[in-house]
A and B are shown apart, each in its own frame.
Chain A
Amino acid sequence: MRLRTLVLREIFERKSQLATSFLAILLGITVIVSIKNITVYSEKAVAREMDSLGANILVLPKSATLQNYYAADLQGDTIPEEYVGQLAMSSLQGLDNLSPKLSVPVDIQGRSFTLTGILPKSEFQAKAAWAGAGIFSRPEGCGAMPTLPFAKADKKTLVRQRVIDDLASDEALVGADVVSALSLKEGDRLTLLGQEFKVTAVLPQTGTVDDSRVFAHLHRVQELAGKGPVVNAIEIVGCCQEIAKGLVQKLNSLLPEAKVVTVTQIAESQIKMNHMMSRLSLIFLVIILFVGGAGIANYMYSNVFERRREIGTLMALGANSRLILRIFLLKALLLGLAGGVGGYLLGSLLAVAMGPQLAGVPVLPMPLLAIWAVLISVGLALAASFFPAWRAARLDPCATFQEI
């Protein structure tokens, strides 16, 4: 005879009475786990979608329109380059990378192309579409500090060995269409606005207007175009969650003279779904805390009431109040453990099965959710059972006897 024998035998003897409480906690945890699981994968899908676009926020002159997202910097009007500094110095969360651009039309061998001035690292990190070139870093998720030309320490330590970091004022990167039209290859020389550039990299096809661009250092392009410290656009890789929380509005407040636009409409339905899932997850958590907790407490109270004679007998035989408390709390612990583990397994199954239909994304089980499921379930079961258990421990053993 051990404590666990006493508890397990009682559980299995009266399993039908326990079933309702167990089902309440099991279903609650199942729903929370499945919603959370789908939400996480849906958010990842949005992040991937945003990532694939490169920059997802543009800072443009007020007069600019957004007929072609990829050509938004080709509309002539400019904004001061110092906006980049303002952004970098701000306390805004969710700016993963900044990439200022200045574009001017150029004529090469009788054909029209675009010369775009960039600040090396930020430009190429933002352009995830070019990651296939294998020589540039790709933005990795959200939350990284923006790396700017005047953030010298970051630049030197993070990208010292990268080609882009060595982009000199006479070096150029050329798009796929330019290469094909002019039969260029790495190492060739190219004259732009009267200045000779060396082709240091040939960029792979992207299918966008960027294929017709030649990229050079921003400050060199500013100098050749005679435009001073201005840019046509600042591309920003914004964290999806922060965009959803109003990052664009905050940028508008910070830079009232500029137009801030986003491509969130591309993933708008997905983001809405994520919001709905997050809210649902929260609602279910609250419901399970109240309804599940009340159900368990109610079950435990009635269990204590039913077992008064048994508790009194145990006390008459020498059980102290701590043992009675432990009997009921161990039962609650087992109930919570079973509900948490079962809820995690069922919830994960549900998420894997329903994720593609609900959120349009493939979903895999998340082991981390198992820990949360068990913690919530056990915590809830113990908290809801504490007062009934305490009451049992304080029962009058005289109830054991026929007359008092």
Chain B
Amino acid sequence: MLKMDNVTKKYRHRGEYVTALDNASVAIDKGDFVSVVGPSGCGKSTLLLMLGGMLSPTSGRVLFGGESIYDLNADDRAGLRTNNVGFVFQTFNLVGYLTALENVQIPMYLAGVDDAIQEERAASLLDRVGLGDRIHHKPCELSVGQQQRVALARMLANDPALILADEPTGNLDPDTSRQVIGYFEEFNQEGKTIVMVTHDPRAAARAKRTLRIKAGKIVASDQSRGQLHVA
């Protein structure tokens, strides 16, 4: 489903080149649940951004369903994200001036879904993550755990095949972290492919496999529960 072929990403920082990802190759099958671990600044988020079509590689290719996504223009990549990718962020990235319901409606609005259907589905998704009684609350009126659950509901809005999560439990207490990872396991069981960047070993352990990155290189993988291929 998702493949990186010899991908390298270099940044120019204060006149010097920094290699964020170095000749990385990885294949992720449909239905996988992959955690990506490694020290801060090793290139985990760069990998995630590239898989999400938001950061073009310096060299190499990223394929989604066999299609080289960086051969598409930026707007086509945006369309691909709308219909196929759900993002979850460490800081939730909810829109502060919108209610929980409206936040969940955003991906559906971007996909051109009718107003009434947006509302109905958003309410149903919030209900699924246990926030049926908080749909008209703004993010500042919710706890951090509730905010992340709103973000999960938003991520599910267009029923994406691929979920990309950037440290989804990074700001949460242990109980809420377990709850959120539980949701990820549930989504994975429903057939969604998940790539999750995390610093939390307990969260990483609940993935089907773990990908370790060090200084921009994929150095190891734990394939105890699946078919992760590292080249």
A residues with a Cβ closer than 8 A to B are: 1-2, 5-6, 9-10, 12-14, 309-310, 312-323, 397-398, 400-404
Q: Does B111 contact A (CB under 8 A)?
A: yes
Evaluate whether A315 and B54 lie within 8 angstroms (CB atoms) in the complex, with A320-B75, A320-B79 already known: yes
Chain A residues closer than 8 Å to B110, beta-carbon distance: 314, 317-319, 323
Give the secondary structure class of A's interface.
helix
B11 contacts A404, CB within 8 Å?
A: yes
Could you tell me if A316 and B102 are in contact, using CB atoms closer than 8 angstroms?
Answer: no
From A2, A312, A314, A321, name the one whose CB has the most chain B CB atoms within 10 angstroms.
A314
Task: Determine the residue in chain B with the shortest Cβ distance to A307.
Answer: B95
Assess whether A318 is in contact with B107, with CB atoms less than 8 Å apart: yes
Q: Which residues of B contact A403 (CB under 8 A)?
A: 40-41, 44-45
Would you list which residues of chain B between 54 and 102 have a CB under 8 Å from chain A?
Answer: 54-55, 74-75, 78-79, 81-83, 85, 87, 89-91, 93, 95-98, 102
B81–A318 contact, CB under 8 A?
yes
**Total number of B residues with any Cβ neighbor in A under 8 Å:** 44
At the interface, yes or no: B166 with Cβ under 8 Å from chain A? yes
Q: Name the distance in Å between A323's Cβ and chain B's nearest Cβ.
A: 7
In the bound complex, how far is the Cα of B81 from the Cα of A132, in angstroms? 80
User: Once the chains are docked, how many angstroms separate the CA of A10 from the CA of B81?
Assistant: 24
B218 to chain A, nearest CB (A): 17
Contact A318 to B166, CB < 8 A, known contacts A313-B95, A404-B20, A404-B45: no
Which residues from chain B contact A317 at a C-beta distance below 8 Å?
81-82, 87, 106-107, 110, 154
Q: Which of B83-132 contact A (CB under 8 A)?
A: 83, 85, 87, 89-91, 93, 95-98, 102, 105-111, 115, 118
Asked, given contacts A315-B54, A398-B49, whether A321 binds B75 with beta carbons under 8 Å apart, the answer is yes
Selected from A316, A322, A398, A404, the residue in CB contact (under 8 A) with B81 is: A316
Residue of A nearest to B118 (CB): A1
Are B93 and A400 in contact, CB atoms less than 8 angstroms apart?
Answer: yes
Q: Smallest CB-CB separation from A312: which chain B residue?
A: B93
Contact check, B45 vs A401: say whether CB atoms are below 8 A apart: yes
**In the complex, what residue of chain A is closest to B138 when comparing beta carbons?**
A13
- Residues on B with C-beta less than 8 A from A5 are 102
Asked if A318 contacts B89 (CB within 8 A), the reply is no
How many interface contacts (CB-CB < 8 Å) are there between A and B?
97
CB distance from B161 to the nearest CB of A (A): 14
Chain A residue contacts of B111, Cβ below 8 A = 318
**Distance between Cα atoms of A403 and B115 in the complex (Å):** 35
- Which among B11, B45, B95 has the highest number of chain A CB atoms within 10 Å? B95
Contact B95 A310 (CB under 8 A): yes
Question: Can you identify 23 A-B contacts, CB atoms within 8 angstroms?
Answer: A5-B102, A6-B98, A9-B98, A9-B102, A13-B96, A13-B97, A14-B97, A309-B93, A310-B95, A312-B93, A314-B110, A316-B87, A317-B87, A317-B107, A318-B78, A320-B78, A320-B79, A321-B75, A401-B48, A401-B89, A402-B91, A403-B45, A404-B49
> Are B79 and A318 neighbours in the complex by a CB distance under 8 Å?
yes
B residues within 8 A CB of A319? 78, 110
A397 to B52, CA, bound (A): 11
Q: If the complex has contacts A318-B79, A403-B41, are A398 and B54 also in contact, measured as CB distance less than 8 A? A: yes
Say yes or no: A402 contacts B96, CB within 8 Å: no
CA distance A400 to B93 in the complex (A): 8
State the CA gap A310–B81 with chains docked (Å): 16
Note all chain A residues with C-beta closer than 8 A to B167. 402
Query: Of B85, B89, B97, B154, which is within 8 A of A400 by CB?
Result: B89
| Cα–Cα distance between A9 and B105 once the two chains are bound (Å) | 14
Q: Please, which residues of chain A bring their CB within 8 A of the CB of B170?
A: 402
CB neighbours of A397 from chain B (8 A): 54
Interface flag for B221 (CB, 8 Å): no
| B161-192 interface with A by 8 A CB criterion | 166-167, 170
Rounded to whole angstroms, the CA-CA distance of A309 and B139 in the bound complex is 15
Chain A residues in 8 Å Cβ range of B11: 404
Tell me whether B87 and A402 are in contact (CB under 8 A).
Answer: no
User: In the docked arrangement, what's the CA distance between A37 and B9, Å?
Assistant: 63
How far does the alpha carbon of A34 sit from the alpha carbon of B11 in the complex, in Å? 56
Q: Give bound CA distance, A312 to B89, whole Å.
A: 11
Which of B45, B115, B158 is close to A402, meaning CB atoms less than 8 Å apart? Answer: B45
Indicate if B6 sits at the interface (CB-CB under 8 A).
Answer: no
How far is B97's CA from A323's CA once the two chains are assembled, in angstroms?
18
Q: Is B74 a contact partner of A321 (Cβ separation < 8 A)?
A: yes
Contacts of B48 in A (CB 8 A): 401
A227 and B109 alpha carbons, distance in the complex (Å): 91
Min distance, Cβ B109 to any Cβ of chain A, angstroms: 4
Contact check, B90 vs A402: say whether CB atoms are below 8 A apart: yes
Min CB distance B43 to A, Å, is 9
**A1 near B75 (CB under 8 angstroms)?**
no
